[in-house]
Amino acid sequence: MDNDNNMNATDKPVKNARLFHNPGAGHGEHTKEELISLVEAAGFVCDYSSTKTEGWEKIETLKTDLIVLAGGDGTVRKVAPHILGKEIPIGLFPLGTANNIAKTLGISGDSESVAATWGHGTLKAYDVGKIGGLNGDGFRYFLEGMGYGVFPRLMKKMRDREGHGEETPEENLRIALDMLHDIILSYKAKACTIEAEGITYSGKFLLVEIMNICSIGPNLNLDPTADPGDGELEVVLVPEEQRDVFATYVHNRIKGIEEPFLFNVLKAKKLSVYWEGKLVHIDDENIPLKKARKVSIDLQAGMLHFLVPEEKGRRIGQLSEQDL
């Protein structure tokens, strides 16, 4: 047998990483070369793909031991549909504006310190929501949340002003909070009926959010206890009667004051929602509805697996051949 073509018993198996990078994230402060160097320093042979180039989504999962995502929440959402249900560890460089997914997972710090945790981290299962009944066009999935009311309105206003300035991420978050405050004060509450775990809830609401993580939009923490791998979705409700306290909570956030707001939160694996309006958001996408309709939401457990720096999931110690 030719030993030149075979691994010696003492050789470590080659571990392959596939890096998906949004070059525009973080105002382009992280270059392709810098990120590849960090992945290689963590012990991987690194293949690079820019999510801005054609054909990036052709992922050879059979030859991939680690998926690395470099960008914000949008980058995670963009790549996730191509790897759902595949038990490949995901490393995340949070380079975006809000980084709501990374913050929920406890991933923070500079890219070098994040990469340094991969060899002795924890695999954290991440659930996904599956939506049926939207405009009769099959199923849709969400990683962060879907909902009705003030947040779809905020997203529309923020999209309308895109390209009007070169604000920093912090300035963008402040602008979004200012807009949200004004929307809360003026928004006409709408009727909604939720059926969850055999119980029906109905009333007029400013906000109905079915969430898988702690925060949405401009880092608005709607449920600090949310765990994206616990097998349950959080349903956050803000009724019309809480308009003033909700507005005060957002106003305090604008001023940098972190005062807790006790949102009404339900937990469910499966539910249905009927909203009298015709606009819903799924993660960062606004979807106009042809008519007010009932939609169903089912939790799909453990569809993704992230490497996180703390003991939040299965302890894996040094990544083994079985995990990589």
Predicted structure pTM score: 0.86
Decide if pLDDT at 317 tops 60: no
Q: Which amino acid is at 286?
A: N
Q: How far apart are CA 173 and CA 166, in angstroms?
A: 13
**Average pLDDT, stretch 189-199?**
96
Q: Stretch 222-239: mean pLDDT, rounded?
A: 94
pLDDT of 108 strictly over 50:
yes
Looking at residue 148, its amino acid is Y
Domains of the chain by start residue, with CATH: 3-121+309-315 (3.40.50.10330), 128-301 (2.60.200.40)
pLDDT of residue 310: 59
Alpha-carbon distance of 292 to 299, in angstroms, equals 23
Which of the four pLDDT bands, split at 50, 70 and 90, describes residue 9?
very low
Which SS3 state, helix, strand or coil, does residue 119 take?
Answer: helix
Strands 16-21 and 66-71: parallel
pLDDT at 47 over 50: yes
Tokens standing for residue 207: 């906000």
**What's the rounded mean pLDDT across residues 211-237?**
92
